[in-house]
């Protein structure tokens, strides 16, 4: 199931944990990917890419966030 970017960004804005595992957020300005509910500062829309899996985010060149630990989060 594909999720629209606007829905993903809204989930990030509200830190909605129900989206954790449904997609991962890559931040181009930092090179990090996170869960939607990550407590870190919200990235600007133009710096956000959406990935269906953590593997896809890593394949795109992002590394896991040390704060929300998306590789260890329950899907």
Residue 28 has pLDDT above 70, yes or no: yes
pTM of the model: 0.91
Q: Which domains does the chain have, with CATH numbers?
A: 5-64 (3.40.10.10)
pLDDT of residue 72: 83
34 is catalytic: yes
| More confident of the two residues 8 and 1 | 8
Rounded to whole angstroms, the Cα distance separating 67 from 4 reads 25
The residue-averaged pLDDT of 40-54 equals: 96
Out of 34, 38, 65, 68, which one is annotated catalytic? 34
The residue-averaged pLDDT of 19-44 equals: 96
Confidence of residue 54 (pLDDT cuts 50, 70, 90): very high
Q: Please provide residue 54's backbone torsions phi and psi, each rounded to the nearest 5 degrees.
A: -65, -35
Rounded to whole angstroms, the Cα distance separating 73 from 43 reads 20
pLDDT of residue 10: 96
């Amino acid at each position: 199931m594909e999720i629209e970017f606007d829905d993903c960004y809204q989930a990030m804005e509200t830190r909605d944990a129900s989206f954790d595992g449904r997609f991962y957020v890559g931040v181009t300005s930092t090179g990090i990917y996170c869960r939607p509910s990550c407590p870190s500062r919200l990235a600007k829309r133009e710096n956000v890419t959406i990935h269906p899996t953590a593997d896809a985010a890593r394949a795109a060149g992002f590394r896991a966030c040390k704060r929300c630990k998306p590789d260890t989060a329950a899907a």
